[in-house]
Structure 1
């Protein structure tokens, strides 16, 4: 058989997307399949059932990641996957697409009798999405040694449920979490197909995105302290209004990021808490959650610097005091140039145009990149919508991405990988 002509079964893949999309389906058409809930546990069972029909070794590791390994001639693995948990009222493509394309690739290899030089593994990572336990990218952090049993032992959600209990219910072994760490010398590459969750591919009329890197994320909590006072009897020139000061900082974040010369940098103030939050009292304290995302560390640092300069101006101008607490400072992660070129070459062979772009959302691939050369393919998101019931990608684009991923895997398998 000429493996260069092998393609995935698009109808079967579409059916799998539909089937998995029934778990957690709500009346509004969205998916409520958040981490370790009953719908997510049922979706896990469905995935394990599909894998059990293939000639693969199926197991759940200590972090409750689901694995399906197809044994090759050499004991070094090419891993493909993503996650099947969703945000509340989310869509059926985010994460799930990468897992289902990985499943379809395993099916395609088996039904065509293709023997690979290396093991091929599918992984469905636990708890990629932000969740009530506050532990996103749980599974990929665990296998890359960035999340330990000690770190999770006392974690609970708002209802008092321990993450260790929820993890055990999903098939994990929380007290042995550290045992799931994968070694660099047992991995050859990691591939992930994901929806873009933005409009860059749609606007460019390009069917496939080759991801260059995964955004750095900087988050800080700003506490602006003014002076609360009577809103009717305090004249405007005598005020130290924390909310007015906060408003200037919010606009600064927007303006600095809008004026930045690169499109792949964004800033958001997503939370505002005002105290005492009363109609007739001048706000005495405001807490802001500021987030900056960018593909390059130096770009994020430049925005931080401009924001710091504005803080000093605001303190002097409005008579307030600003305290800064850094909540997260996650460096950007580059994808493998070798894998990017492999994906582009396979797309070119198939006659599909591609576009390089950075990911402005976090992904499991960011953690896998610390273990092995990693690469991602983005599929266009209709109207750029994601994390909502309207999330959609065309099967035409999905089929292209799946076949490019399949043949990228086969090329990497034959060449033995490279950084």
Structure 2
């Protein structure tokens, strides 16, 4: 399969949910998501690959090479953020499909029999924009989230995951494939590779992530008739919480912690009513769990003071806590070997963002690779990666897949814990 064909397919998939500024709006289990899923199924069917859809909407394209053997799985996700970019997730799925076909063609041409079968996945709801939490499909697959609970999750309109998947025809019942390994390639969503002029990143660990579910409860009243001293305005208090979350990073070294409030809902959301309730989610991330714990403690104390000052109630609950995951050394060395053979620059790099590979790294030997992001931007329409870098990544993923179906990483650890230091007892 040629580079030209890959690029044509990639840019065609980017038309599903295309926005006016070269982005995509393809949130999980929407009609636009269905278009990309139908295309994925069609790509597999044209090549005679079996397609399965499991009970949380994950899609698998299976290439049977060795009867009864488990699969090396490649892929990522096709859903996007609202007004998101063309590359986040979708690149990894398209790269997986094309890399898998190249491996299958090479095996056939050489008459070789590998150790494992090969498959490609489109994970459900990696983004978490419509249904929280994110990384849902792969986490259910890995046993980290309960399927029934995730199917019952509702979006802001009150539609459940099960209802949404059923509406687009992708609430499956198929058996999940048995895996022997997983590999994913993704845009970096940062500027390190671009800044250093390096084509490939070998991801060695993920940052610690902690979310806080925050409910600010005030009292509804008339904006024109209620004296300022008599108001219990949930929105005013919530705005101070937002600023606290933003400002807590200043208590730590530069770049040590990132924080944000990305979602906020307001009740009753009327122009002439003082808000009675605001719900928001704060996101804290760092390479150190201790830093996140200190930021959390600082925020809880300051939020309690805001509640007291405004004579309202603020409920804060921990949500979607994800520990640091270390990828196996064997996978890092494999990526470096592949890069050297292809003449590509490579460096080890951490991921601040979550990915499906973080969940998969808990259950099978996992490789995670990055290619550069122009200006480091992501989750927006301006997200961009060059065709040249995308093609280099496809070649690298194909070589990694080739090594893995032939047994590389079969004995690699899968617990995601920090590797032992050299010389340790």
Fold conserved (TM > 0.5)? yes
Q: Tell whether the 8 Å contact from 1:57 to 1:69 is kept in structure 2 after alignment.
A: yes
Residue 106 of structure 1 and its aligned partner are, at CA, apart by 2.0
Q: Deviations over 1:256-287 (max 9, x none)?
A: 42453473631113456789999999999876
- Residue 9 of structure 1 corresponds to 2
Where 2:369 maps in the other structure, the secondary structure is strand
Q: Does 1:127 align with 2:119?
A: no
- Give the TM-score normalised by the residue count of structure 1: 0.81
Q: Does 1:353 align with 2:345?
A: yes
- Residue 416 of structure 2 corresponds to none
Q: Tell whether the 8 Å contact from 1:187 to 1:372 is kept in structure 2 after alignment.
A: yes
Of residues 276-285 and 21-30 in structure 1, the stretch that sits farther from structure 2 once superposed is 276-285
- Give the TM-score normalised by the residue count of structure 2: 0.80
Residue 91 of structure 1 and its aligned partner are, at CA, apart by 2.0
Alpha-carbon distance in 1 for matches of 2:119, 2:294: 40
Alpha-carbon distance in 2 for matches of 1:250, 1:12: 46
Alpha-carbon distance in 2 for matches of 1:224, 1:173: 35
- Residue 46 of structure 1 corresponds to 39
The verdict on how the C-alpha distance between 1:309 and 1:134 changes in structure 2, with shifts beyond 3 A counting, is: closer
Matches within 5 A, 1:12-411: 12-73=5-66, 75-112=69-106, 113=109, 115=112, 116-134=114-132, 136-152=134-150, 154-173=152-171, 180=175, 186-222=178-214, 250-258=242-250, 260-261=252-253, 263=255, 265-270=257-262, 289-308=281-300, 310-311=302-303, 323-411=315-403
Alpha-carbon distance in 1 for matches of 2:6, 2:134: 27
Alignment coverage as a number of residue pairs: 403
Where 1:375 maps in the other structure, the secondary structure is strand
RMSD (CA atoms): 3.6
Residue 96 of structure 1 and its aligned partner are, at CA, apart by 0.8
Q: Tell whether the 8 Å contact from 1:222 to 1:288 is kept in structure 2 after alignment.
A: yes
The verdict on how the C-alpha distance between 1:19 and 1:283 changes in structure 2, with shifts beyond 3 A counting, is: closer
The verdict on how the C-alpha distance between 1:124 and 1:312 changes in structure 2, with shifts beyond 3 A counting, is: closer
Structure 1 portions without partners, runs of 5+: 1-7
Q: Tell whether the 8 Å contact from 1:78 to 1:413 is kept in structure 2 after alignment.
A: yes
Structure 2 portions without partners, runs of 5+: 414-425
Alpha-carbon distance in 2 for matches of 1:317, 1:108: 63
Alpha-carbon distance in 1 for matches of 2:378, 2:342: 28
Alpha-carbon distance in 2 for matches of 1:273, 1:12: 43
Q: Tell whether the 8 Å contact from 1:193 to 1:377 is kept in structure 2 after alignment.
A: yes
Q: Tell whether the 8 Å contact from 1:16 to 1:100 is kept in structure 2 after alignment.
A: yes
Residue 158 of structure 1 and its aligned partner are, at CA, apart by 4.5
Alpha-carbon distance in 1 for matches of 2:270, 2:167: 45
Residue 344 of structure 1 and its aligned partner are, at CA, apart by 1.6
The verdict on how the C-alpha distance between 1:152 and 1:14 changes in structure 2, with shifts beyond 3 A counting, is: same
Q: Tell whether the 8 Å contact from 1:60 to 1:171 is kept in structure 2 after alignment.
A: no
The verdict on how the C-alpha distance between 1:308 and 1:155 changes in structure 2, with shifts beyond 3 A counting, is: closer
Alpha-carbon distance in 1 for matches of 2:240, 2:272: 21
Alpha-carbon distance in 1 for matches of 2:257, 2:169: 39
Residue 11 of structure 1 and its aligned partner are, at CA, apart by 1.7
Where 1:370 maps in the other structure, the secondary structure is coil
Alpha-carbon distance in 1 for matches of 2:330, 2:239: 45
Where 1:389 maps in the other structure, the secondary structure is coil
Residue 80 of structure 1 and its aligned partner are, at CA, apart by 0.3
Residue 66 of structure 1 and its aligned partner are, at CA, apart by 2.0
The verdict on how the C-alpha distance between 1:323 and 1:160 changes in structure 2, with shifts beyond 3 A counting, is: closer
Of residues 116-125 and 298-307 in structure 1, the stretch that sits farther from structure 2 once superposed is 298-307
Alpha-carbon distance in 2 for matches of 1:249, 1:388: 25
